[in-house]
Amino acid sequence: MVNAFIAIDFETASCALYSICSMGIVKVVNYDIVSREYFLVKPPENFYEKKNTEIHNLTAADTENSDLFPIVWEKIKHFFDGSYYIVAHNASFDMMVLKTTLDFYELELPDFDYFNSIGLTGANLKCPTEVGRSLEARCKYFNIVLDNHHNALCDAEACANLVICAAKKDDRYFTMRSFLRERPNFMAFSGAKIKPRVFFGGSKFNKVSIKKVAAQIDKPVSNDNFKNKSFVFTGDLKRLTREQAYAKVMTGGGHVLSSVSKKTDVLVSARGETTNKMEKALALQAQGCLIKIVDDEQFMKMIESCDAIKLD
């Protein structure tokens, strides 16, 4: 989208980069902020380190009843589908946080381009080197409001306003993808690094499976349609949100995969449309793989009746 971008900021609960505890998302179109979203996120085991709390003032009490990251991701992942450029201040850190968190929860990695507001504001606004690179220093120099530093939404909005100032100097940054690719501050998310897991007191957090997420938002399904079977979803269901559908499968003893493979038992194609996942499933069926493809209504019947659809 021309002259549009998404500014983001993450705060973490510990030195583990997958411990996101809050995030801010600010959408800009034609140099105007059109939406602001703020999320509290429950980190793994709701664990906080004192030094992180001293930075952002969030504690375990603040996120005790918040959603884990996979649930929040379902609400925001459309921002990261490649339709918008993503920006952050010191973007390499935020991209590493996001990618490490997606890896931790075994979620599918999105494909998008991102850029760093440090380089952009330095080059376009000719910011003197003695000003410093921090968000606080840049905002002070350019008279950008930053009244609650380390609040994720406040920081994301300040970053957005810095970029707006810089972009007005040269809007090629948002109108020429080839130009962006040639700039050293514009990168593909696929190139972002994943930081290895960190240890606390001699042990490490295990990956939090989506089954744990599902267990806290729904009740078990009392039939065998899901037990020990792997499901993949494509398209939006009519009567359930994606996380509710995950819950039905997971609490019924099944598994949810992010992509179609030979391990897939059922592809739920909500609208029966031809998607990449559908094409992959059909190709595997042609090779002899026993993948069942069901639509929205058939999936609901699987929930409502043990005998609705036999998969064996």
- The rounded mean pLDDT for the chain is 81
pLDDT digit string, tens, across residues 149-177: 999 999 999 999 998 888 777 666 555 44
Total residue count of the chain as it appears in this document: 312
CA–CA distance, 228 with 254 (Å, rounded to integer): 5
**Which pLDDT band, with edges at 50, 70 and 90, does 204 fall under?**
very low
CATH number of 4-200: 3.30.420.10
Domain ranges of the chain: 4-200, 210-304
Check residue 94 and give its pLDDT: 96
CA–CA distance, 242 with 277 (Å, rounded to integer): 16
What's the average model confidence in pLDDT over 118-134?
80
pLDDT digit string, tens, across residues 221-264: 556 788 888 888 888 888 777 767 877 777 677 777 777 888 89
Q: CB of 169 within 8 A of CB of 125? A: yes
Q: What single string gives the DSSP state of each residue in 108-127?
A: PPP--EEEEHHHHHHHHTT-
Check residue 175 and give its pLDDT: 56
What's the average model confidence in pLDDT over 80-90?
92
pTM above 0.85, yes or no: no
**What is the third-level CATH fold of 210-304?**
Rossmann fold (3.40.50)
